[in-house]
Amino acid sequence: MKIWIDADAAPRDVKEVVFKAANREGVETVLVANQRIPIPANAATVSMVTVREGANVADQYIVLHSQPGDLVVTADIPLAAELVAKRVDVIDPRGEAYDSGNIASRLSMRDFMDQMRGAGMATEGSRPYSDRDKKAFANTFDRLLTKLLRQ
């Protein structure tokens, strides 16, 4: 079992929660990004993969290397859809777990909003990451990690 982080846009708080759990449980954790992301010196089970620049290069690396039983942290819904189809557990930084029961509707809404923006319609951006989001992430992450470690 591995934890993967789509790290280019992952909030610092999310990475800190994952680093602590990875150290506590001894779980290999891989950050994947287009640029170097610092890893704390005490994060013995955490490594970094820097991929070449380009759209979706980090995403495709995660899809290629992850496997059922792994846990991926990403806010990228198309990536989440690919991973769910591959039977990989996925959680977003705000604590929502994606699965076969909800990913199609999330992807549909994402595509709809993308079309609206493409047509010039003003849409609201994401709200700032909050302590409430961090708590929701930590709770869902701990639940999923515990489930996967028991398998």
Domain ranges of the chain: 2-150
Would you put residue 30 in left (φ > 0), alpha (ψ -120 to 50) or beta? Answer: beta
Of 104 and 83, the structure prediction assigns the larger pLDDT to: 83
Token pair of 17, please? 């929660």
3-state secondary structure of 5: strand
Rounded Cα distance, 25 and 115, in Å: 42
What mean pLDDT comes out for the span 68-93?
Answer: 95
Residue ranges of E strands in 39-129: 46-50, 71-73, 89-91, 97-98
Does the pLDDT at position 107 exceed 80?
Answer: no
CA 98 centroid distance within chain: 10
Q: What is the DSSP string of 61-110?
A: HHHHH--TT-EEE-S-HHHHHHHHHTT-EEE-TTSPEE-TTTHHHHHHHH
| Whole-number percent of the chain with pLDDT over 70 | 87
Does the pLDDT at position 106 exceed 80?
Answer: no
Does the pLDDT at position 102 exceed 60?
Answer: yes
Q: What is the largest CA-CA distance in the chain?
A: 48
Does the pLDDT at position 112 exceed 60?
Answer: no
At 101 the pLDDT is 81
At 117 the pLDDT is 62
Rounded Cα distance, 40 and 19, in Å: 8
| Whole-number percent of the chain with pLDDT over 90 | 69
Q: pTM of this prediction?
A: 0.86
Contact present, 93 and 127 (Cβ < 8 Å): no
Contacts of 36 (CB under 8 A, 6+ apart): 48, 50
What mean pLDDT comes out for the span 146-150?
Answer: 95
| Predicted confidence band of residue 67 (pLDDT cuts 50, 70, 90) | very high
Asked: is 2-150 a CATH 1.20.120 domain? The reply is: no
